[in-house]
Amino acid sequence: MTAVLDSGKRKIVYVLTDKTAFAPHEVQLGIQANDFYEVKTGLVSGDQVVVSGNFLVDAESRLKGVLGEPAQ
């Protein structure tokens, strides 16, 4: 589950929106199979998700106020 950032309140993944930008998407996870989780909502087929360095993307998003919640 390295792509998912779990804040306790919600689960966020970052999706590539163009060559240099990412957007947070709240996801709902389903069943787990080994190291993989079913994504029930929040993504569509073809979405490219950040799987490495997502903490850095999240930190920058919080600085820019993208998530609409204060940094903790």
Cβ proximity of 55 and 5 under 8 Å:
yes
- What is the average per-residue pLDDT within 22-49? 93
What value does the mean pLDDT take over residues 7-21? 89
CA dihedral sign of residues 42, 9, 33, 13: positive
Q: In this structure, are residues 14 and 22 in contact, taking their beta carbons and an 8 Å threshold?
A: yes
Joined tokens for residue 66: 């993208």
Q: What is the mean pLDDT of residues 6-25?
A: 89
Question: Which one has a higher pLDDT value, 60 or 2?
Answer: 2
CB 38 within 8 A of CB 20: no
Given this model, what pLDDT does residue 72 score? Answer: 44
Band (pLDDT 50/70/90 cuts) for residue 67 is low
Number of Cβ within a 10 Å radius of residue 65:
10
Judge whether residue 19 has pLDDT over 80: yes
Arithmetic mean of pLDDT, 30-57: 89
